[in-house]
Amino acid sequence: MSSRLEYSIVDVFTDVPFAGNPLAVVLGAEALSTAQLQTLARQFQLSETAFPLAATPEEIARGVGYRLRIFTTTAELPFAGHPSVGSAWVMARLGRVQPGPIVQVCLEGELPLTVAPDGGPVELTGGRPFVSAPIDPAPLLEAIGLVDADQPAGSPPPRLAGMGLDFAYLPVHPDALDRARPDLAALRRLEPGAVAGPIGVYALAWDAAARTAHARMFSDDVAGGEDPATGSAALGLGVWLIESGLLPADGPSAYTVRQGVEMGRPSTLRCTVEAVGGAVVVARVSGAVAAVAQGWIEIPPA
CA distance 136 to 172: 14
Taking Cα atoms as reference points, which of 235, 195, 196, 198 lies closest to residue 213? Answer: 235
Distances (CA, A) of 210 to 81, 177, 219, 254: 23, 18, 27, 10
CA distance 49 to 222: 12
Active-site residue (options: 6, 30, 48, 108): 48
CA distance 173 to 152: 6
* 68: amino acid identity, one letter: L
Query: Could you tell me whether strands 267-276 and 279-287 are parallel, antiparallel, or unpaired per DSSP bridges?
Result: antiparallel
**Contact by Cβ (8 Å): 43, 72:** no
Q: Return the half-sphere exposure (C-beta side, CA atoms, 13 A cut-off) of residue 235.
A: 29
Taking Cα atoms as reference points, which of 233, 277, 276 lies closest to residue 255? Answer: 233
Length in residues, the chain? 302
Has 58 been annotated as catalytic? Answer: no
Taking Cα atoms as reference points, which of 248, 193, 197 lies closest to residue 219? Answer: 197
Q: Which residues are catalytic?
A: 48
